[in-house]
Structures are given as structure tokens and as C-alpha cells.
Structure 1
Amino acid sequence: MMKSIRSQLLIPIFAVVLPALAIIIYSNYERQHHDMEMVKAGALVMVQGLANDHEKDIEATSKFLMILARLPAIQTRDAAACNKLFRELLQDNNQYATIYAVDRDGKMFANAFSFSSISIKQRKYFQDAVQTKTFSAGEYTIGQITRRAVLPFAYPVMDSSGQVTGVVAVALDLEKYGKSFMKISHFPKGSTLNLLDRNYTRLYRYPYNEKYVGKPELPQIVKQLSTSAQEGVFSTVGVDGVKRLFAYKQFLLQNSSSPYLYIRIGIPEEQALAPAKKSFLRNLALVIVSLIAAILAAWLLGHILIVRRLDHLINASMKVGQGDFTTRTGIENTKGELGQLARSFDEMAQSLEKKELDRRQAVEALLESETKFKSYAEQALVGVYLLQDGVFKYVNPKFAQMFGYTVEECLENMPFKNLVYTEDIANVTEQIGKRTAGETDLIHYIFRGVKKNGQIVDVEIYGSSSIYEGRLAAAGTILDITERKQMEAVIREDKEKYQSILENIQEGYFEVDLKGNFTFCNDSMARLTGRTREELIGMNHKQFTNKETADKVFQEFNKVYMTGEPSRGFDWLIIRKDQTQGYIEASVTLKKDSSGKPIGFEGMVRDVTERKQTEEQIRHLATHDVLTDLPTMRLAKDRLKMAISSAERNKTMMAVMFIDLDDFKEVNDTLGHDAGDYVLKQVADRLLSCVRASDTVARVGGDEFLVIANGIHVPENAEQIAKKLINIVSQPIHFNGGQAVVGSSIGIALCPNDGQDMDHLIKQADEAMYRTKNAGKNSFSFASTGIK
């Protein structure tokens, strides 16, 4: 016996030691996994950084093409004007290989370079732009004119009716664009950078771009890119035979289901795993030594502390097995496991004696409970029954009365099926079977019963499992719910008709009294106001709109009240519960009682918020610069016209200042176009800070601005503004760790001194600006040479 126990002691020893060994080995594995995940995360962050820059570039390209598509020269296909414009724009946008425009049939009519007859009708990006009427991207190609590797982007040109009349496009210079990424991020040693088009053709690869550009990607990499998520990390062998961790990002245009571009960074896997492998080998040696020491120590201590004490416990258990419940182990009740086991033996006899006593008490309690149950059941106002083997073993008088029988008749081995309507027998049998089989304790169901005279009644059962003569039985109470079911059917029919009408109305529906207080609404109306139906009932229409709209709504309601004619299709500004605003279009009808007396109004509404927002956005884009949000020349001329009229009416002067930034081109050339855009935004903000709210600052060219200053009394007032503008513009502008400094050359024309014609004043200010440029820049000049 003792030999067997000692042998079995090895099981807990290994059970303790081996998990510890597994934990140590697993921790080494986790180190390798952690290092790999860190490299993966770093690679993914690098890809996401490049992706952010690319998405900004594509957004800028989309806006650039959208603005070009709306220009009159392109709308009217003025080839000469377009060619000139494209050449000028290409000088300031050297990331593009060329800019060009084609007609509806794909025939090119304008290009930044000289060209012969060229058609892009079969190009997918042209077809996508025409079909989707939105921004589209192409695939790798060699430009027919530039002979450079390019990636084209296109935007549809549409007439006033929304029909596509042509396409304006740019060709992204892939070599320049790929090199720009290398300036953005620092890549680990041995890393690669790949740009792929939608056909998995390499647009650019670092290093050795000339060797791999224009060639298809490896099949195993294509499979990963085409079947995985929009961004992620995977491991495989690259085109140069080196196994790397590749982090990638897919780019999709809006409303497109397939990517037009992939960016992928590869980091050598061997470099990522080297530290973890070295640590793993060192820890493995330490684990083996620790395992041997643990086994020897556990074997020795187990023999001393367990086996000797276990002998006493075995002797005591044998006596208890022979029926001697007074036996005690004689082992001290310590806190250890053996002490707890000894205490269990000591308590065993007392526990058996107590259980016998409890059994006798339970029998007495059961007899008392049966007596109380029969007393309650005989006087109950609901039917009570006990069912076993398909026949009733007990029913109370109310049960028998409910079905037209006597208690005696029910207990003469009457099958329960005699009281159940034929079509419901299967369901009732199943419910009884669940209780008599012990599958459920409590149950509730309804069925149709049959009285002794054949009358059908609706009854409701609340049942449970019970014990009768030592076996499971089904017990429960039964209620006659015939009248209740009839009333529920009538109510349900009326409610279904009413709800059907409301649920099939897609628009909002409401009713208000003559004071404008809501008396009823459907769920659609409540959702439009951002409230529940309960919150909306009792509110006045003025509580969720402004005063101007409330007055307008009152006029519409009053017109319906006075004429009796419905009002249709008026816009209604609403303020939702969360204070956001929206628009609804309402149609209102006068509501009358049975005598024809007006008692309120009822109406239908639909949500037109999106339409209103779109109209406002279109109006804003037509008169404001996309980059700086300053007014364009078109809006500036409208304000200039009003400023001239105001100066003439108030007998004052006003100034037109034409501003051209000095050395702005160097910012683009040295810091990049992102920096150039940032500088233009900062200059716009600084110009606004120097003028009053009644003055106007507009962007009228790439780096040209126009300031309209009202309320000028003497030329010195304009001079003060110009000096302030020059000073604040020349302050350094910081961008991504770099610094840009630009100056401003200003030309000033005064009204009425230099004329009162709008175009003449702008021309005078422009000429004065060029005199400033020629005189040394970063200063100002008046159109009237006599003013200093």
C-alpha cells in the first residue's frame, strides 16, 4: 500500500513541475511573438503614415480636378485657353507629368504639352469617370506624350443639366511620387517600399526601381493582398528571395469596391527575430536544470510529510466502513489538507445520525402539507387538478363545475383527453409529458376545452410537477378565460387596423389643436424632432423652431384656417432635442369635428435636411476658395461693387490692395506642396487678423490676394494697413520642423482718387503691385505715383 502511494506521489510532483516548465518555455515563445508583433506594429504604423500623406495628396488632386472641371474654358472646350492654363498649372504642380482634357468620346482637345490626335476612350479610368460621374483612378501606364511611368486620375466635366460632356485628368509622375515617400519616413536596414496599381503592377519600388517598375507582383503576394483586409501584415518571400514581414494598405475611392492602389513596406524577418532566438536558448538551459532539482526535492518532502500521516487516516476509514460511527482518526485537526480530511471523518457519524432525524421530520411535514393543500383546494375559486398516467387522481369542485361534471365522474379513471378539443390534444399531451418526465417544474399554456354538453371553452393552465404515490405527476390550476379571449379579439382587431395605417405611412404625420399644441403624431414625426412620441404630445410647434420660422409656420396655418384650403410643400426649420437643426417639408390640412367646426390641423412631413445642406454647400463652394475658404474673385467683385457705392454715398474713400507673395515658389520647391498649402492658409489667417469685419480678404490666384478696405479717410490710413500686412506676413511660419518665410508686394488703388470703376481699380492696384516687385519686393506702392 505504502509503495503504491509513494509511486503515485510522482503524479502531483510532475503535475506541479511540468506546468512551471511549460510556463517558462511559453514565456520564451511569447518573447519571440512579442518581438515579431512589435515589428509588425511598427511596419503598420509606417504604412499608415505614408497612407495619410497619400490620402491627402489624392484629396488635393480630387479638389484640383473638380475646380478645373467647373472652369468656363474647359466647359466650353476652349483648347487654346486650356493649353495655356494647363502649362501654367503644371509649373506649380510638378508632381504631375501632365494635365489634359478630353471630350465625351475620349478625344483629347487640350494638354500641357503639344500633342497629336489622341483618344483615351478605352481607358478604364475615363470610362469610370463618365459612368460614375465622379473622381476616378487609372492603372500603371507609360504616357503617350511624356513617355514617363504615370498613374492617371480623372474627374468628369458636366453641364448645367448634370450630363457628362468630357473629362479633365492629371497623370501622376510615379518616379517623383515614389521618391517623395522616401523623404517622409526612415526605413530600417534591408527594407523595401512598393506601390502597386489595381492590376498588381509595380508602380514604384525602393530600392532598384528601374529593375522592377512596370512588372507584375509575385502570385503569393497578390493572393495576400487580394484576399485580406484593407490593411494588415503578412510574411512571405519577396521578389529578391528575402523573407520579410510585409505591412500593406489598400486605397479605395469613394463608392468603389475595389482598390486602385496598394502601398507595401517589407522588413527582413531574420533581423526581427534574432534577439528573441538568443534569449530562448539561454532560458531553455536554465529550465532543464531547475526541473531536475524540483523533482528530487518534491519526492523527499512528500515521503516525510504525507505518507506517514496517511497510515493513521487509512485505519480510521476502515472502522467507519464497518459501521462504527464513533470512530475518530486521532489526527490533530490542522489547517492542512490531511487535517481537513481527518475532521471530515470525525463529523461523518454525527452527519448520518442527523440525516436520519431529518428524514423522519420531512415525512411528518409532508403529511401536514397534504392536509393544508386539500383544505385550500376544496374552497378555491379556480380549478385544481392532479394528473398521473393520463387520468385524474384529484380534482376540486370548481374544476368539475367548469366542465359540467361531478367530482366523482372526473375521478372514475376519466382520461384528460375527454376534456380537450381534438386539435389541441397534441399540445396538451406534450405539456403534461414535460412535467411527468421531470423536464420542467413550472409551465403556463392555453388550450380549448370541451364541456360535458359539447360546448367549447378557452382555458388557461398554470402547472407544475408534483409527486403522487412516489412517482412524478402533473398538477396545476385552471381558469375559464372564454369571455376574456372574446374581448381581446375585438380589441386586437381594432388596434391592428389603426397600427397598420400608421406603420405604412413613411412620412411623418401629426395633429395639433388650434393653438399649435401637438395632440397626436406617429413615430416618424417624433424621430424627425429627435423626441419620443410621449415627449412631443402636448408641445407647441414654437418649442422646436426659431422665432422667424415660428412666424412663418403660423402664417401657413392661419392661411389654411382662413381659406379652408390645404397648404402644401412649405419648408419648416426644426431644432431637435439635441439642439441640432434640420428641415422638413410640410403639408397641412384643416381638421374639423362632426359639425364642421375647425378643431385643429393635421399634416404630413418629410425630411429635406440633406437637400438644404447640399444647396448651401454648393452656394458656398461657388464663391469661396477650397484651400483657404476665402472669397474668390467673383465674390470679391460683388463686395467691391458695394464698397464703391458705400464710399460714394458716405463721401469717404476706400482702398483696393493687390497682394502677391514674395519667394513663395521657393517654399514649394524646398519644403513641398503640403508646406506651400499650409503657408497659404497661415497667410490667409494673418491677413484676416489685420482688417476689420467689414473689410474683405480674397484669394484671387495661386499666391495672390485682394484686400478691400472700407472707411478710408486719407491715403495714410491705407498706408498703415499695408505696413501692418507686410509686417505680419513676413513673420516665419513653422511646418513639420521646417521654417518658411515669405514677403508681400502690395499695390494700392484708392476710390475715388484712382477711379470708381471696379475693374479699373483692380487693374490699377495690380500694376502698382508689379512696380513694388520691380523695386525690390516686400513693400507697397500707390497707383497714384504722387502719393508716397
Structure 2
Amino acid sequence: MLKHLLHGSIRKKLAILFLASALPAFAVIFLYGLQSRSESIARSENELLRFAAHVADIQETTTLSIRILLENLAMLPDIRDGQAAACKQVLDRALKTNPNISAITLADPDGRVIATTRPQAGANLSGSKHFRDAVATGKFASGEFFIGRLAPIPLFPFACPVLDDAGHVRGVLLASIPLESFSTLFNTMELPPDSFIGGCDHAGIRIFRYPSASPGPVGEPIRRPMFQAAAAGGVEGIKTDSGTDGIERIVAFRNVRLDPDGPAYMTIFIGAPKTIVHANAQREMVRNLGIFLLAMAMTLISGWFFGGKRLGRKLEELADASGRFGQGDLAARVEPDPDVTEIATLTSAFNDMAASLSREIEGMKRTEEALRLSQERLALALDATSDAIWDWDLENNQVYFSPRYATMLGYTPDDFPPALVTWEGLLHPDDRENAKRIVADHIERGAPFTLEFRLRTKDGRWRWVMGRGNVVSRNASGKPTRLIGTHVDIHDRKQMELELLNAKEAAVAANQAKSEFLANMSHEIRTPLNGIMGMLQLLEAEVRDAEQQKFCALALQSTNRLTRLLSDILDLSRIEAGKMEIRQEPFDFRGMLQQTIDLFMPISVQSQVALQLHVDPAVPSNVKGDPLRLQQVLTNLLGNAFKFTRHGRVAVEVYPLPSRNESETRIFFTVSDTGCGISEESLRNLFQPFTQAAQGYARNHQGAGLGLTICKNLVALMGGSIAVESEVGTGTNFHFCVTLGSLPEALPQRTPADTPQQTQATGRVLLAEDDEVTHFSVRRMLENKGYSVTSARNGQEALDRLHHEDFDIVLMDVQMPVMDGLEATRLIRASHDLGPKRNIPVVALTAYAMPGDRERFLQAGMNAYLAKPVSIAELTSTLDKFMRGGA
């Protein structure tokens, strides 16, 4: 008994001695444990920051993809033209290839929807932030979240302006992305219980938070302290905050920006409970202390010699369990011995340490698996996207390219050239210096860039690519250290642009050739027509027989109508563009009808086809409108009727129609004939340009097929419509109506003072004209009126005569040999030798009568403009005005 007590006493003394010697080491390890706990908390916070940065990178990549899509769409001709149907097709195709976007809409600068992929257009969009920012800045802009109307899910919108060539906003493209995708991301992160991932917009409004059972609903402001911390201006940060659910969390945040120097449009938050983070650190400290206890236990092996075999066996069990745990057996444990207090305490500490380490190792395995899955999904996303993504580390000059970069150029990722060669080495020589300069300039300024260039493919061809890049990180001195961006294959678009450009140039060239042809044809037709008209006017002044004078008058009417018709046909571009003008002037309606009938009476007599006119008594005599255009329609229809009628009659009937108000008069016309008629098949295309009826109206007669098309356009411009009914072998009836202005029935009569006085004119005229017939007719008409006329055959001769003789006025043709009329006029105006004669009135008498000719001649220094063919009344009126000093 004494021996046992003595043995126990010695054992206790040894234990006390051991503890006393181990206290300093215990203190050191305890302090180390505290430091390890702080480092563990810091690692957890860094892990939260890394998660936040990962989510922010995903959002930035998504935003960049949307930006690229919208900016590409904004450059398409259909989108810039703003045609609703074509825009709708473009937007539908874009949405189909980008399922991560909920909707795409095109609106005009006032917010009115032009085209959209939504089932319904919705309200005016001008009040939204992203729309206003895009219009104000002319750049891609972010907005404020909203809840979708068709599907009640939170959405985040973006806007991109559609600019014209001058940089003015012609419209705005809008797109939105659903925020539900963050829930999937949250589930893959394997965060501790009661953790969350959330986000707010630039105003601090919560736009998403997962899990959904969150303290604050979407659409309401987040906690003020958290928003203030995020808005302080930094890129990222850590803050401890208690939520409205009473849980204190460590929250990491990361700001998302469109531009590095711009304000944040979104902030990402990831929070984990503080108690869990600190508990993990606590377990790590306990583990370190457990190691110390284990060391003490191993030291107590010497107690085997004092405590007997039972104590030794327990120490052997502890050592065995420790070895198995170190080899990976996380279930290794030791049963405590209640009879030996020291051993029970030691085994309990070992078991707690093993359990803590087991939980931590399992947690690390789950985190590693989640990270592996996240990286795998990111790789799948990079493979699936149609854009090549690159990441450039400027400090180490290392570049990452996604697999799409290689396949875009015909390579596989395995045989792609080295990363540093893929851009500069593959650039087209003509694009290399400009592209490198732009990129270097934007890197220096830290600004995003967009440029287009050509890259060499594996088979040696060149492919158009659009590159975009943005600075995402800087060092302490503000120098950019990292760029990310995309390369988009735009080869098909560039090919289409090239084809459109070639087509446009071909169309411009064809239009220019057509204009030159029309101008030349106009000149060549008007010149002989002027001779015909001049000779008829001379003949009319010489003959005294009433019937011969009537013949001359009718012939002159025909030349006048031919001149007007020539002007209409030669101005095809104006007709096709719908820019033909309808004048509004008072005229005698019945007199116009009778004049038209008189024009066709000789044809009626010659063909022995009766010409009849019936005007309802209720039709007014005085109206307001364009008599020449109305007469042109009647002349065309009557000309066709006589052309296709061999026997019977041609009739014109005129009736009034009910008017919609007192200021207008509506009149109905019927032009009928007993000719060959038109087949039912040919009636369908009768009013189409350059087409003729297959029977009667086409094969047996020549014609350009423009007459009825011009009639239809003119009638429509005069507020009416035209229709036709016909039967083969019986005849044809054309019906049309027009709207004219109402006037009092009695118009003021011209007094004798208003009538031009037929007096003998005096004055010296220099006539510069190279066409023999025109020269003869104009000279004779002027001499018959009393003028003294001196001739010149070209501009140089006119200039010489003006130096040596005195004249009152010059009639100057434009197209002449040796020196044209424009050059002669410029020399007259600039001559110092002519003295006061350089200010002599110069009147252009020319066959150039295309739009813009008159203005060009007046700018050259001419005082007035007369287009061939010219009437003697118009010619003498112009001369008299200058002779009286009326210029």
C-alpha cells in the first residue's frame, strides 16, 4: 500500500514537473494559435473577395457581350434606316442567337418604339435612365433594374445609340438581361449556411439577392452603411454588417463599371456569417493546441515506467490513432479511460482535434469541387460563345485566348500559334501600324477601344475582325496592368458592306449616266423643237388666211404640249421620287376642256372618228388647280383612244361630284372609245410603268408604256383616283376624278391697261447662237418686232463684237464651239477693258432645261434664263423688261 501511494505521489510530482516545464511552450503555441486564427479570418475574407470578383467578372463579360451585340446591330443599314418590318426581322434573329437576353427593342430619339421582340410594344421609353444617357452621351449606357411585365422577374437594362454618319442619334437600341442566373451561380459556390449573394444598382436599389428568402425584397434600398461603403469609390472592399435578420456577416463587395474611370452601375455583395468564419478560425487554433497536447502526451510516454502497462497501452493507442489520422483515416479516434484522468483528458482533446480537422478537410474538398465545377462551366461557356475572349496581363506580357479565337481563324486550340504572335503576327500589313497605334494610345490613356482589322487565317486568307478592349485593373500609380476584351468575326458583315458600297457606287454611276443622258437628250430635242416653234411663229405672223392661221395656232399648241410632255418625261427621277409639284392657280375650266378638244379635232377629221364633249351644266367654269397637268391627263387618254379606235367615236364626259367642303370642287371625267378594247389579263398591269397590254394596246402599236403611269400619278397628286373598264372588240372607258379649288364664278376681267401693248420695239441685240435654224428664227422674230440684231456664232466672237460695238442686251446660247456661253459671260463680267459694258444684261437662251441649270447659269453672271423652245411673247417680254431698265 505504501509502495502504491509512493508510486502515485511520484507520478503526480512528475506530472507537475512536466506541466511546469511545458508552460512556456504552451504560451508560445497559444499566441501562435491566436495569430493563426487572425490569418484564417483574413483568408476567409480574401476568399469572399475572390468570389465577389468572380461574379463581377461574369457580369462584366455579359455586359461586354451585350455591348458588342448592340453596337454591331446599330451599324446595320436596316437598323439605321428605321424601317419597322426590316428592323423586326433583324432583332428577332439577334434574340434567337442570344438567349441570355430577355428582349431587344429599337426606339426613335423621342422614345417611340419602332420595332421590338416583345409580344407587345409597350409605352414610351424616353423616361428611362439608360435611354436618356444613351441619347445625351451618344454612348453605350446602363440603366436601373425593373420587373418584367410579361414574366415577373427582375431585369437589368442597357441602351446603345444608333448614330448617323454625322454622329447624330437616329435611334436607340435597348436590351435587358434577367438576373435569375445569379441564383445558379450562388448554388455552385458552396458558401456556409446563412450566406448570401446580392447586388444593387447605382442608386443603391436591391436588384437581386439569393437565397430568395432574404430580409429585404428586390426593388427596395439596401442597408445604408453597406451602400455608403461600396460608393466610397474603391473597386472592392470588406465590411462587417448586421442584416435585418439579426445575423452579423462579413460582407465582401465589388463594383462593376462600364469604363474604368466611370461610376459603378452595379455592385456585387457576398456575405457569410461572422460566427461561422470565426468558428472555422477557432477550430484551426484548437487544432494547433491539440498538436501541443499530443506532444505533451508523447512526452508522457515516460510515464509508462511510472504508471504501468495500462497507461502505456493508452499512449500506444493515441500514437497509433495519430499515425492513422496523418495517413488520411479521418475516422481515427481513441476511447478515453475514465480511471486515468490525465489519459481521459488527453484522448478527449485528441478526439476533438481529429473531429475539427475532419470537418475542415471535408469543407476544403467541397470548396475544391465547387471551384472545379465553376471552372468547368466557365470553359464550356467560353467554348459555346461566338466571340473570342482574350485577357492580357500587361505586366508579364502574357495573353490568354479562348478556344473560339483559334477556331475563328481555322485553327484548333492545339495548333494555334504562340499567344504573343496571334495578334501582331497575324495582322494584315496595311492594318498593323494603325491597330498597334490605337491600342497603345488607349492603353496609355486607360480608355476602352474598338477597332476593325484583318487577321490571317490558317489557309492564308484574310478575315475581318472587330476588336474591343477595356482596362480592368491598374497598379498603385494608376498605370493599367490588365486588359480584357473580345474579337468578333465581322467578315460576313464587311463583305456585305463592301457589296453594298459597290452596289451604291454602281447605282450612283448609273444614275449619273442616266442624268447625263437625259440632259443631253433634253438639249438635243429642245434645240430642233425651238427651230420648229420659231418657224411656226414666223409663219403665223406672215399668213393672213384665217384657216392657215388656225393651222399654225394648232401646230404651236402641239409644240407647247410636246415641250411640257418632254419636261415631264425627262424628269423621271422627280416622278419616281414622288416630288412632282402640282400648281394651284385660277383657270377657266371649260376653256381648258375646249382647248384640249380643239387640239384633237384635226385628228378626228382625218381619222373619221367622231369626237364628242359633254359637260354637265353644274360643272363650274372657274376653278383653281394645275390646268397643264389636268390637260396632260386628258391629252394622254384621248391620244390612246384615237390610237386604238378605227371606227365609231371618242367621247369626253364631265360631271360634278359632291364636295367635302366649300373650298373644293370635285369633278368626275370619263374618256370612252369604241376601239379594240383590252383583255382582262392585260388590265391587271395596265398602270405599271414600261408595260403594255398584250392585246391591241401593245402588239400592234409602239410606245414607251409610261403614259398611263404618269396619268395615275398626276391624278393621285390632284386628290383623285383612276379606273378602267374594257371589253375586247367593244371599247374602253377610263374614269377618273380630281379635286380642284373653288373660286367665284365671275373672275375679274383684264382691263386694256393690263393687256400688253403691241408697240414697235427698239434696241440693239447681240445674238450668240450656233444653231442655224434657231439663229434664223430668233433673229427674224426680233427684227419683226423692231430690234436691231447682230449675230455671233460662238462665245469668243460675241466677246470680240462686244469690245468693238455697243449693244443694249446679249442673248447668249450656252453650248457653242470655240467658247461656250458660260465662259464668255464670266470673261465679260471680269473684263476691265469693257468698262461699263461689262455690266450689260446677258440672257441665257439655251436648250439646257434640267433641274439646277437655271441656278447654275445665274451664278455664272447671267441676268435671266429662257429655255428652248421659247415663244416670241416670252422672248420680247424679257427683252422689253431689260430695255425699260427693269432688270
Same fold (TM over 0.5): no
Q: TM-score, normalised by structure 2?
A: 0.31
Give 1 or 2 for the bigger CA radius of gyration: 2
Q: TM-score, normalised by structure 1?
A: 0.35
